[in-house]
Amino acid sequence: MDKVLVTGSAGFVGFHLSNFLLKKGYEVHGYDGITNYYDIELKQNRHKILFQKKNFKATTGMLEDYEKLEVLSEKFKPDIIVHLAAQAGVRYSLENPRSYINSNIVGTFNVMEIAKKLKVKHLLMASTSSVYGANTNMPFDESQKTETQLSIYAATKKANENMAHSYSYLWKMPITMFRFFTVYGPWGRPDMALFKFVKSILNNEPIDIYNNGEMFRDFTYVEDLVNGIFLLLNKPPLKSDKGQSGLGNSTVAPFRVVNIGNSQKIKLTDFIEAIEECIGKSAIKNYMPMQIGDVQATWADSTFLKNLTGYSPKTNFKEGIAHFVKWYKEHYKI
């Protein structure tokens, strides 16, 4: 069974992916900075669960620390690297853009250098639906030009895609970039909408609803996302793939970009209504204008993922919300 290095293993997606791989019998080594961008205790609790599994070890370190990353990688000798660690969040990138350059640009460069040095079978790295930026032709598919990012966060992720393509071409490294579409579910991030909405409604606090509720998102349940990543794990791109119907494969390198989304455009107000129904309580709504750096809508065309793996994310958002609310109440003893 392959050995997998997962960066961001104490993060939301990294935790779920590591747990999934461990259940499948993989040996996993996590690498995470456990930064204070949000509640450190939540990250530590995720790692505690993973440490209960016999095939999991982890190193605490920043992506920018190349020497630490190199030492652990040369000792562990991963067959596959899944790079999920990043400075996340569109809004925080307005306050602290430098952290995005350090983590997402320098850190990702370090991960690519390690992958090149170790000649891993497949390097998989997280991108985001935010790279589609000001594009309005929906659903978004991987053949669209992505030149109009609206936040530093999105711009760093687009830079990652470009850096990865050049490394793939130069060193014949099989690289898959996956673009996430608004991931949610148990153990989610406190800075994301679902977590904030549930917490505020339960505490009788108002929720901020941007663009007066005229927002649309392709909400993707975390287990669906992880399943998609897992199915891509042992399907490295080949140089001969030649673009597969003009979708996400490069024509000159063993490189691809893949959307992983639920392929349903859900209105924010419908999402909030489903939360209210699940909790059995109405939200106190504070309608706000569109926030700078945000996009009005995201919507994934996941045809390429289906072509590659035979799989399409399918969890209904109401079902996913119910799973999250159940976890939230249990975790915070409500």
Q: Given its phi and psi angles, is residue 21 left (phi above 0), alpha (psi -120 to 50 degrees) or beta?
A: alpha
Q: Which of the residues are catalytic?
A: 153
Query: What are the structure tokens assigned to 230, written together?
Result: 């897992």
Measured CA to CA, the distance from residue 103 to residue 89 in angstroms comes to: 13
User: Contact, 90 vs 151, CB < 8 A?
Assistant: yes
Helix axes 40-51, 12-23, angle to 10 degrees: 10
> Where are the extended beta strands (E) located within 111-221?
122-128, 175-180, 183-184, 206-209, 216-217, 220-221
Where is 42: in which H helix or E strand?
helix 40-51
CA dist., res. 319 & res. 238, Å (int):
37
Separate counts of helices (H) and strands (E) for the chain: 12, 13
The closest alpha carbon to 4, from 112, 84, 76, belongs to 76
